[in-house]
Amino acid sequence: MKKREPIRYMENAKELLRKSPIEENYYKDIKYVKTACGTAYLGVLKAIDDYLLGRGITKDKLPKKVEEYEKALKKYGGQYNGKLLGQFNVIYHELHIAGYYRGDLQAVKTVKEALANGRIFIERLAGLTKER
C-alpha cells in the first residue's frame, strides 16, 4: 500500500534526524536537524494543500505564503478552524522558523515533539485522529 505523501515527508524527516549524532540529549549536527524540520514543515503544507483540494479549491488557487495558509485554514477549517489555525501557527514557528530557518532547535526531546505535533496536525487534517 502506497503511503500518503504528507506522512512520507514526516518519515523522511525522522530518517534525516537519525543521521545526526546525539550527545547528552542534543543533536550535534544541526544540518540534519534543519533539514528534518524543513522536510516536516513541507509535509504539513502538503497536508493542508490536500485538505483544501478536498474542499474544492483548485490547484492553481492553493496558498503560496504562510498568511494565505492561515486565511485558508480560517475559512475552510470548519468547526475546528480556531484549533487548526492555532496548531498551524505553533508548527510554523517551531518547525519552520526555529527548526529550519534559524536552526535554534537542538534538544532531542524538543525536536521530536515538534515533529510529533506536525504529524498529529497532518493526521487531524486527514481525519485519522479524533478530537480529544
Segment 90-128, tens digit of pLDDT: 999 999 999 999 999 999 999 999 999 999 999 988 873
Q: What whole-number distance in Å separates Cα of residue 126 and Cα of residue 122?
A: 6
Q: Residue 108 falls within a domain, yes or no?
A: yes
Q: Who contacts 118 (Cβ-Cβ below 8 Å, separation ≥6)?
A: 10, 40, 41, 43, 44, 91, 95
Q: Express each pLDDT in 25-68 by its tens digit.
A: 999 999 999 999 999 999 999 999 999 998 899 999 999 999 99
Domain membership flag for residue 13 = yes
Does the structure show a pLDDT above 50 at 129?
Answer: no
Residue with cell 492555532: 86
Q: For residue 68, give the amino acid letter.
A: E
- Domain membership flag for residue 102: yes
**CATH no. for residue 64?**
1.20.120.330
Domain of residue 24, residue span: 5-126
Count of domains in the chain? 1
Asked if the structure places residue 132 within a domain, the reply is no
Q: Is the pLDDT of residue 18 over 80?
A: yes
Residue 81: band (very low, low, confident or very high) from pLDDT cuts 50, 70, 90 = low
